[in-house]
Chains A and B, each alone.
Chain A
Amino acid sequence: MNRRFLRQALPFLTLAVVLAATFYVQPRTMSYFGLNLMLQYAVPIALATIAQMFVITVNDLDLSIGPFVGLVSCIGATLLFDNPALGVLALLAMIAAYGAVGALIHIRNLPSIVVTLGLSFVWLGIAVLILPSPGGKSPEWLKAIMNVHVPYAPFPIIAAIVIGVVVHLALMLSSYGVIARGAGGNPKALSRAGWSMLKTKVIMYMLAGFFGVLAGLALLGLTTSGDAHVADRYTLYSIAGVILGGGEFIGGRVSPLGAVVGALTLALAGSFLIFLKISPDWQIGAQGAILIIVLALRALVSYGEQKR
């Protein structure tokens, strides 16, 4: 079989295997209701993963996306609930802040890991100021969207497909998407060709901020109240999701569809491990093991690819 094809199919195969294993362990999940319940939280994770993917496209890494999603959920549960206009304004300001961070990182040529690590404290601090303890209320329309019932296919699956396809069209098939990925592949060549790297980076960071906001709102719709720490693990999930989905850290090699599939796999793996009755102590460890196994398979495939 064509190894390149195999490599691209690997994220989908992984998802299929985890899904099959889940069905095998707990056949009752093989239903509209079961899938809906298991994959609910895949939607915010998928959105956060897409946000991370935009930053990884330009060779940076965002270690602040988790606390950012938490902050959005706090703003959504307070400002957006009490005063929608002000809430929307605050969320727009946060997307602008993301763009400003992208500009700062580019202009001063700063290491994104350190800047976003510092930024994660800022987001968490603001969130704690807004909502010192979990509380607030989700706007009704958010709850309604997240609990929508679509006939035949569960909502999370539809949502994941829509997110993946829209971003795929925008990033992989549009002409500006090519420039954006080129900014990760060979920034020097692109800036010599007359493209502004500053503008590209700002746009990609703002897109990351936009999808971070979507992730926070989606999460709020599910949890129905805000919490500064609700998404602390999303930073790790989002990075792992991009990598599981076949993305690479450098060179602008990313895959939106893969990233969404990676996020679904991660969300599903959580349920699968619970069904397996693995001791809670080993839950995190088992996720680490799944990550390592998938990467080992990929290394195996790529190894053959290079040899030929």
Chain B
Amino acid sequence: MRAKLLRQPWVYSFGAALAVWLATIAYTHGQGAGAILTAALSFATFTIIVGLGQMMVITTGPGNVDLSIPATITLSGAVAMKVMDEDTGRMAIGIVAALGAATLVGIFNYGLIRILRIPPIIATLSSSFLVLSAAISYGRGIRIKPPEPLAQFAEAQVLGIPIMAIAVLALSVAMAVVLSRTVYGRSVLAVGQNSRAAWLAGLNVGRTRFLTYVLSAFLAGVCGILLSGFSRGAALNMGEEFLLASIATVVIGGTSVAGGRANVPGIWGAALFMYLLVTMLNTFGASAGIRLILTGLMIIGVIVAAGGEEQR
């Protein structure tokens, strides 16, 4: 049983998160232990949302990665804030508009990959330039506050647990079920393991990839709306940090970079670890430079400890 547990890739990310949290509260002599966890859950949810999308993309096989997530988050946040225009009555239409814009980005990404046969990294990178420009141009100089209900939802807590974290937990469970129980989810795994074999077995490889890129963009859109609610407005650099975060959480969480193996719980552990790590370094009073160096080394350390793929 214990050996089986230790073989689960997500155990390591949770272990790392726990260790960092313990080190932090040992330093503060237990002060703020709960508050740190609450904050970690709040901030980690954004990373988890985009991490789930990135996980599906990475799982569809080597070379598949979505670099347009940060730009999509920014676009979605700008569209949501501008359409809502601080009016609670316009919230629904704002959400639909933002998610619609994000979905279009996903369709465009897949179009580039499929029709122009561009490697996904370059396709999503080029489209992210266009999307970012669209967001900058559309959201020029916006300082629009989110409608009150949206801001309240993004900040609400029950017994110290953010409501958003509970919602994202439900989303994660749903994603795990989709992955292991539905034709689409199984197709993603099959395509990632061997796309040719999947194609020969009669799976619709093209449609699977298409849905995956759209899903990733859609989740980035969700993240953009919630994030602009949480941070009281959209900003043109709000997506920036999620490029590293989305990829790092997926990989640290035990999802295979070579594709074909996904891990939902690992994303939670990794997202919490990444946030708690920064908190710990802040608590220790590390300077910006030291903080950056240690963050980088920790990411490398975890990936080295978790090990790469077996030689094929």
Contacts and interface: CB of A to CB of B under 8 A. Distances in A.
Interface of A: 61, 104, 108-111, 113-115, 117-129, 132, 236, 239-240, 243, 249-250, 279, 281-289, 291-292, 295-296, 299, 302-303
Nearest to B294: A125
A108 B304 contact: yes
Contacts of B132: 284-285
Chain A contact surface mostly = helix
Contact of A299 (B117, B133, B292): B117
11 contacts: A104-B304, A114-B299, A118-B297, A118-B298, A125-B295, A132-B288, A240-B125, A281-B136, A285-B133, A288-B129, A295-B116
A117 B292 contact: no
A51 B292 CA distance: 24
Given A128-B289, A291-B125, A295-B118, 11 more contacts: A114-B248, A121-B296, A122-B296, A122-B300, A129-B290, A249-B63, A284-B129, A285-B133, A289-B126, A292-B118, A299-B116
Interface string B300-312: 1001100111110
Interface string B59-95: 0000101000000000000000000000000000000
Interface string B249-287: 001100001000000000000000000000000000001
Contacts of B119: 243, 249
B127 interface: yes
Interface string B112-131: 10011111011001111110
Given A125-B296, A249-B63, A118 B122 contact: no
B52 interface: no
B296 A118 contact: yes
Considering the complex of A and B, which 5 residue pairs feature the smallest CB-CB distances, nearest first? A285-B133, A288-B129, A121-B296, A125-B292, A125-B293
Nearest to B137: A281
B289 A125 contact: yes
Contacts of A122: 292-293, 296-297, 300
B134 interface: yes
Given A114-B251, A281-B137, A288 B293 contact: no
Nearest to B310: A109
Nearest to B309: A109
Given A113-B247, A249-B121, A285-B133, A121 B293 contact: yes
A109 B130 contact: no
B304 A110 contact: yes
Contact of B290 (A125, A236, A289): A125
Contacts of B289: 125-129, 132
A289 B131 CA distance: 11
Given A111-B251, A111-B257, A118-B248, A288 B296 contact: no
Contacts of B257: 111, 113-114
Contacts of B19: none
B291 interface: yes
A125 B310 contact: no
A121 B112 contact: no
